[in-house]
């Protein structure tokens, strides 16, 4: 395979001044190239490929080159070289071809499509080509560039993007031949890749992704995944099943840990600068982290997964008059727990009595739900004790509780 591919388009106006011209689409690579024997036995022979059973290459059905005729070009020109021999292959629009030797050395393979069209058609092809290449090749292991050479504002653009996903708590996994990235997302996209080239990229309702992963965006890059004959989907075989099993395990372990750690970090940053964190309605991230954490407690109680005991020890619960505490500490708390949006004498009395006073208001439902799941107890509002009551009176009330 090639380590770099240059894709560029040019427009050749009609010499007579008519609007119609010739659109050139060039694809140049510096790969292994082709010998005369390879041209005869594979390039010009349908369903013939040397890549079968080679896990280092993608595209193994011997039909890839046929796709260049999808644009109905007037002609296709191929220059290539290998092992000291250099060749030109000219394909007519009816796909008949003529092969001849070249005297000039060629590195790799250069393919040019000649398509009839005017300036408007050229502009359309530039935009469509850029969009298509970005969709299928943005994570390619080969460096891919794109250039519009017929426009004043045309520039050389690097297509490659980091192999990552957008979302909350991004997490990664890598082993020989396979790389996975995943994150929480309310609008997830799921991608399957081989050598970084897309086999399938889907959003919304799809049977490629089970419901339990509906709110998790992920990309899988693996040399063991393959595309279908039509090149528009991933083959669902045992290698696909293995990859999805890894994603499911990561979603129930490493990604869960990343979420609890993010919640602990966010809680610490909020309580370090204020006596109590802001209401959930003014901090969407805080609310989302708590909701996701509660989801996992629900799934654990349903027997769907087992949380790492370490996560129960992370300080994710903000308190009045004390640093954040863990869910494990909340479970051990005698009696119930109290809610207060800010410090008060009543909170101080409760704290001195050893009561858990959580820094939250009655509208902070995500935190309340999280604690109810963890402790099995519902909260009491500090304001129900009346903040105007002297602290000594509150302590007397607590003796009666």
What does the DSSP assignment read for 148-203?
E-SSTT---EE----S---SEEEEEEEETTEEEEEEE-SS-EEEEEETTEEEEEEE
Distance of CA 134 to the CA centre of its chain: 14
Are the beta carbons of 285 and 293 closer than 8 angstroms?
no
Give the three-class secondary structure for 269: helix
**Strand 216-222 relative to strand 143-148, pairing:** unpaired
For 113, phi and psi rounded to 5 degrees? -100, 135
Give the three-class secondary structure for 69: helix
Q: Give the pLDDT confidence score for residue 64 in this predicted structure.
A: 56
Q: What is the mean pLDDT of residues 264-285?
A: 89
What are 71-103's pLDDT values in tens digits?
999 999 999 999 999 999 999 998 899 999 999
Q: Is the dihedral of CA 148, 149, 153, 155 positive or negative?
A: positive
Is the pLDDT score of 393 beyond 70?
A: no
Across the chain, how many H-helices and E-strands are there?
9, 18
Residues in the chain: 401
Q: Give the pLDDT confidence score for residue 394 in this predicted structure.
A: 45
Q: Give the pLDDT confidence score for residue 1 in this predicted structure.
A: 64
Is the pLDDT score of 290 beyond 90?
A: yes
CA dihedral 346, 347, 348, 352 (to 10 degrees): 110
Is the pLDDT score of 23 beyond 90?
A: yes
Q: Which residues have C-beta within 8 Å of that of residue 17, sequence separation ≥ 6? A: none
The pLDDT-based confidence of 386 (bands split at 50, 70, 90) is low
Q: Strand (E) positions, 30-117?
A: 75-82, 85-92, 97-101, 109-117
Element at 372 (helix H, strand E): helix 365-375
The pLDDT-based confidence of 15 (bands split at 50, 70, 90) is confident
Task: Please give the mean pLDDT across all residues of the chain.
Answer: 88
Is the pLDDT score of 298 beyond 60?
A: yes
Is the pLDDT score of 60 beyond 50?
A: no
Task: Give CA–CA dist 388/285, Å, rounded.
Answer: 34
Q: What is the mean pLDDT of residues 327-350?
A: 88
What are 307-324's pLDDT values in tens digits?
999 999 999 999 988 899
Give the DSSP letter string of 42-73. IITSTT--S-TT-TT----SS-GGGGGGGG--
Q: What is the mean pLDDT of residues 14-19?
A: 75
Q: Give the pLDDT confidence score for residue 122 in this predicted structure.
A: 96
The pLDDT-based confidence of 130 (bands split at 50, 70, 90) is very high
What are 150-183's pLDDT values in tens digits?
998 889 999 999 999 999 999 999 999 999 999 9
Are the beta carbons of 379 and 337 closer than 8 angstroms?
yes
Task: Give CA–CA dist 22/112, Å, rounded.
Answer: 12
Q: Give the pLDDT confidence score for residue 46 in this predicted structure.
A: 60
Q: What is the mean pLDDT of residues 286-293?
A: 94
Are the beta carbons of 307 and 327 closer than 8 angstroms?
no
Q: Give the pLDDT confidence score for residue 280 in this predicted structure.
A: 92
Are the beta carbons of 358 and 317 closer than 8 angstroms?
yes
The pLDDT-based confidence of 202 (bands split at 50, 70, 90) is very high
Are the beta carbons of 180 and 250 closer than 8 angstroms?
yes
Strand partners, 337: 356
Percent of the chain with pLDDT over 90: 68
């Amino acid at each position: 395979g090639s380590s770099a591919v240059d894709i560029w388009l040019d427009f050749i106006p009609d010499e007579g001044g008519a609007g119609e011209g010739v659109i050139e689409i060039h694809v140049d690579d510096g790969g292994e190239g082709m010998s005369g024997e390879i041209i005869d036995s594979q390039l010009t022979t349908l369903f013939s490929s040397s890549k079968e059973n080679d896990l280092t290459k993608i595209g193994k059905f011997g039909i890839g080159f046929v796709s260049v005729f999808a644009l109905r070009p007037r002609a296709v020109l191929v220059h290539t070289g290998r092992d000291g021999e250099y060749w030109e292959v000219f394909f007519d629009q009816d796909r008949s071809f003529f092969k001849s030797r070249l005297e000039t050395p060629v590195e790799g393979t250069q393919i040019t499509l000649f398509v009839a069209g005017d300036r408007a058609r050229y502009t359309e092809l530039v935009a469509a080509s850029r969009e298509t290449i970005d969709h299928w090749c943005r994570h390619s292991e080969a460096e891919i560039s794109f250039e519009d050479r017929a426009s004043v504002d045309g520039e050389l653009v690097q297509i490659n993007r980091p192999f990552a996903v957008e979302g909350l708590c991004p997490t990664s996994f890598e082993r020989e031949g396979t790389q996975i990235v995943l994150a929480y997302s309310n609008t997830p996209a799921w991608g399957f890749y081989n050598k970084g080239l897309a086999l399938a990229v889907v959003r919304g309702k799809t049977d490629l992704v089970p419901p339990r992963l509906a709110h998790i965006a992920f990309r899988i890059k693996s040399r063991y995944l393959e595309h279908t004959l039509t090149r528009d989907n991933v083959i669902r075989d045992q290698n696909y099943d293995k990859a999805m099993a890894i994603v499911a395990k990561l979603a129930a372990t490493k990604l869960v840990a990343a979420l609890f750690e993010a919640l602990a970090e966010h809680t610490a940053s909020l309580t370090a600068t204020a006596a109590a964190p802001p209401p959930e309605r003014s901090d969407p991230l805080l609310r989302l982290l708590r909701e996701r954490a509660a989801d996992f407690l629900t799934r654990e109680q349903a027997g769907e997964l087992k949380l790492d005991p370490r996560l129960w020890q992370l300080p994710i619960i903000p308190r009045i008059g004390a640093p954040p505490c863990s869910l494990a500490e909340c479970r051990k708390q005698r009696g119930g727990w109290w809610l207060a949006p800010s410090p008060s004498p009543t909170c101080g009395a409760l704290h001195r009595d050893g009561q858990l006073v959580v820094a939250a208001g009655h509208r902070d439902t995500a935190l309340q739900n999280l604690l109810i799941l963890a402790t099995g107890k519902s909260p009491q509002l500090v304001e129900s004790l009346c903040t105007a009551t002297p602290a000594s009176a509150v302590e007397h009330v607590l003796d009666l509780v």
